[in-house]
Structure 1
Amino acid sequence: MKKIGIITINDYNNYGNRLQNYATQEVLRYLGFSVETIINHSVNSIPYDYIEKESLLKKVKKIKNKSIQQIFQKIRSIKLQKKRMDEFKKFTLNFINESEYVVSNDNVPSSLNNEFDFFISGSDQIWNPVYGHGTPIDFLMFADEEKRIAYAPSFGISEIPSEYEPSFKIGLSKMSKLSVREKSGAEIIKKLTGRDADVLIDPTMMLTAEKWLSVSQPASCKSQGKYLLTYFLGDLPKQNKVRIQKIAKIYSLEIISLLDINCEKAFTAGPGEFIDLINSASIVCTDSFHGVVFSLLLGIPFIVFEREGKEPSMGSRIQTLLAIFDMRNRTIQNITDDHNIMRIDFSKVKAVLENEREKTIRYLSTALND
C-alpha cells in the first residue's frame, strides 16, 4: 500500500484545523492509501509540551503587578486554555494518525523523502504568509518534485505581499500538482507562476453528515431547550451582539457562545462537541469558514457576519463557499427580515456537494496515480 505524508498546520486550538486534518486523512484512505500527518513546526519549531509550559511561564510573569482579582482571572484563563487544548489533543489522538517525530525548517530527517510515495500540502491556511506559513516545508521542498501535491490549501488572503512573492513563486512553481480552496488562491498562482490550479471544496465537505456525526461527542454545554449558537473568531461589535439578541428573542432561543471564556463548558468544548453543537442548534451565527461549512453539511440555518478585528479579512474563502452553494443571501447584510430568518433552501446542497466531491476525487486520483 502506497503511503502519503500530510503537511498541514498542527493547531490544537482551532476546530476547523483539526477537522480538516481528519477529513484529508479520511479522503486519502478512501482512495486506498496509508496516511500519516507529519507534525510540522515550521513556524514554531519547539515541541507541543514545551510551547505549553513556555507560554504558561510568560503569562505568569505578566500578572506579577496585577490585583488579586486580576491574578485569579488570569490563572483561571490559563487553566481553561490548557483544558481546551487537552480536548483538541484528545480528538487528535483518537482520530488522526500523527507522526511520532516533528519536522521544522531546520530539522527535516534525511530519510523523510524516501519514507513516503507522496506528500500532501493542505488543507487550511498553510500558505498564509501573514501567519508565517508558506515556508519551504509548507511547499514540500524537502521532497522530490513529483511527490509534491497541493490539496485545497488556502493563502487566507487575496494578495501576497510583495516581499514574499519571490519565495512563493519558487515554491508554487515546483509543486507537481496544484489545487486551492478559493478562487483568489487560483488567481495568486496564475499571477505568480502562469499555472492553472483547480479550485476544490474544503476537505471537511468531502465527508457525509453521517460520517461527521460518528465522530461527534455530546456537548456538555448544550441546552436542553432550543438555542442559537454563536461562533466568532473575530471581535463581536455591539450592533452585531444586539442583532443576535434580537433574533434569539424572536424565536425564544437561548444563546450559547463558543469561545466565551466566561462559560467554561462552551470554551473547552472539543472538536467532537463542536459538531454536536452545530447539529443541535436552531441557527448558527458565525464569521468562521468552518462554521458555515458544518452548517451546510448538517442542514442548519446560519447567518454569516463580516470578520471584525485586527486579523486580515478572511472574506474570500467564505464568499467562494457561498457562491458555490448559491447562499450569498445568508450574509447579515442581505438579511432584512429577522422574522423569516429560518427560511433557507438546502435543496441544492446535495447536488452541488456530489459534483464538487467528484471533482476532488478526479483531481486526487490523477495527481496520485501519476
Structure 2
Amino acid sequence: MKISLVTWLGNGNYGTALQSYALYQKLKLLGYDISFLPYFDRHFRLKSILKGILAVVGILQRRDKKKFEKTKALKKLYAFQKEKYEISHIYFLKQYKRLLNKTDVFVTGSDQIWNAWYSFNPFYFLDFAKNKKRIAYASSIGTNDFPEKYKGEIKKLLSRFSHIGVREQAAVKAVFTLLNRDDIQQVLDPTFLLGPHEWNELTKEADVELRLPSKYILCYLIGNNPHYTGQLLNLAKGYGIKDIIIIPAVENKSFKIPDSIVYDAAGPKEFVYLIQHAALVCTDSFHATAISINLSINFVEFLRFKDTDKESQNSRIHDILNHYDLRSRIYSANNEEEWLKEIDYMPVQAALAEDRIKSVNFLIDSIEH
C-alpha cells in the first residue's frame, strides 16, 4: 500500500525533524511503501513551474544544499534527510496527477501543522487529496482551539478525513466540538512510536565532535526568557552538576551561561545521543521532553509561555506531564524538593507501552479500514 506523508520536515528545529523521522520510520517498519510529500502549489502557478524547471536541471537542489551548508548542524540535517527519507516533490500538473493515481492513503501529522494561530495552510489539512483516503496521525493544534476566523474552512477540510488522531487532549475537544464527531482519538506523538531500541540504533550513527563530561546537564531551550538563566543555575546547584552542555535552538541561538559548553553542531542523531547520555535534561521543548521520557532520562521542565496567554503552547506540555503523572517536573522555586527527585520510570514505561500499542493499532486500523 502506497502512503504519502504530509508533515513538516524541519529547517533546524530538532523536534520537527525527529517527529517526521519517527512516523516515516514506523510506517516503513510496518511494511508500507512510504514517501514524504512537501508543500506544493496545487494551482501550478508560474512560480511553481519555474521551480520545477530549476529542479529538472539541478539548480534547485544545489541551491537547497547551499542553504543547508551555513552551519554544521544544518549540514547534518541535510545529510540526515538525504539518507533517511524518500521525498516526492511536485512541481507540475502531470506529477500531481501521477501522485493521486499511485497514492492509496494520505497521512498528515504530526507537530503543530494545525496550529492556525501560527499559520493556517490548507495543504496540511490535505485540501489537494481529491477523493483519496485521508488520515490524521497525532496532528497538533498547539493551543486549546482554532482561531474563529478559520473554523468554517477547517471544519470543511476535516470533515473529509476518515480517521482523526490528535496529539493533545485539548485537540480532541476542539475537533469534537467543531465536527460533532465522537471518533476523534488522542494518540502518541510519533517519537513514542519508536521505542528505546530503535532510538539506540539511530544514535549509534551519531557524530559528536566533543568529549563529553562524565556527568552533565543537557540544556535545550526554545523560548527567549530572561529568567531561564537563573533557573538553570539553580538547577545545576541543586543537582550538584557543574558541567552544562547547551544545544542552541534555532529560535534561541544566542542563549548561553558562563562556563557552559555550547554545542552548535548537533544534527538529529546527535541531539538524541546527548539526551540519551545526560544526567539531567533541562528544556521547554515538547520533543526534548518526549525523548527524555521515552529513554527514561531525568528532566526538569521550564514553561515557555504564561498559561493565561491566548496563544500559549503550554497545553501540550501539561498534557504529556499529566498523562504520565510527571507534573512535579515543572520547575518552580516552590517545588524544589519535587524536581530534585529521581524519576521512577517503571510506572511511566508501563503506561507508555500500553499507549504505544493503542497508537500503533490506531495507525494500522486507520490505514487498512
Match of 2:235 among 234, 247, 250: 247
Matched, 1:323 2:322: yes
Task: Write out aligned runs for 1:310-349 (5 A).
Answer: 312-333=311-332, 336-337=335-336, 341-349=340-348
Q: CA deviation at 1:22?
A: 1.1
Q: Does structure 1 conserve the Cα–Cα contact (< 8 Å) formed by 2:220 and 2:246?
A: yes
Q: CA deviation at 1:83?
A: 3.4
* Equivalent residue, structure 1, for 2:208: 219
Letter in 2 for 1:252: I
Task: Write out aligned runs for 1:226-305 (5 A).
Answer: 226-238=215-227, 240-250=228-238, 251-259=240-248, 260-261=253-254, 266-305=263-302
Write the distance in 2 (CA, Å) between the matches of 1:311 and 1:235. Answer: 18
Residue 311 to residue 210, structure 1, CA distance change in 2 (3 Å): farther
Q: CA deviation at 1:185?
A: 0.8
Write the distance in 2 (CA, Å) between the matches of 1:48 and 1:316. Answer: 38
* Cα shift readout 1:197-227 (whole Å, capped 9, x = no counterpart): 1000101001111211211214224533311
Q: Does structure 1 conserve the Cα–Cα contact (< 8 Å) formed by 2:143 and 2:313?
A: yes
Q: Does structure 1 conserve the Cα–Cα contact (< 8 Å) formed by 2:245 and 2:262?
A: no
Letter in 2 for 1:269: A
Matched, 1:14 2:3: no
Q: Does structure 2 conserve the Cα–Cα contact (< 8 Å) formed by 1:12 and 1:85?
A: yes
Residue 252 to residue 361, structure 1, CA distance change in 2 (3 Å): closer
TM-score by length of 2: 0.83
Write the distance in 2 (CA, Å) between the matches of 1:311 and 1:85. Answer: 32
Q: Which range moves more in the overlay, 20-29 or 41-50?
A: 41-50
Letter in 1 for 2:304: R
Task: Write out aligned runs for 1:116-131 (5 A).
Answer: 116-131=103-118
Task: Write out aligned runs for 1:193-212 (5 A).
Answer: 193-196=179-182, 197-212=184-199
Residue 50 to residue 132, structure 1, CA distance change in 2 (3 Å): farther
**Partner of 1:6: helix, strand, or coil?**
strand
Write the distance in 2 (CA, Å) between the matches of 1:264 and 1:343. Answer: 24
Q: Does structure 1 conserve the Cα–Cα contact (< 8 Å) formed by 2:217 and 2:279?
A: yes
Match of 1:110 among 91, 97, 105: 97
Q: Which range moves more in the overlay, 203-212 or 90-99?
A: 90-99
Residue 316 to residue 124, structure 1, CA distance change in 2 (3 Å): same
Count, aligned residues: 341
RMSD, matched Cα: 3.0
Q: Does structure 2 conserve the Cα–Cα contact (< 8 Å) formed by 1:335 and 1:341?
A: no
TM-score by length of 1: 0.83
Q: Does structure 1 conserve the Cα–Cα contact (< 8 Å) formed by 2:106 and 2:132?
A: no
Structure 2 unaligned segments of length 5 or more: list them.
52-59
Residue 301 to residue 214, structure 1, CA distance change in 2 (3 Å): same
Write the distance in 2 (CA, Å) between the matches of 1:34 and 1:93. Answer: 17
Q: Which range moves more in the overlay, 42-51 or 153-162?
A: 42-51
Q: CA deviation at 1:283?
A: 0.5
Matched, 1:94 2:83: yes
* Equivalent residue, structure 2, for 1:151: 137
Q: CA deviation at 1:108?
A: 7.3
Q: Where has structure 1 moved over 6 Å in runs of 4 or more? A: 42-49, 262-265
Write the distance in 1 (CA, Å) between the matches of 2:324 and 2:94. Answer: 42
Structure 1 unaligned segments of length 5 or more: list them.
57-77
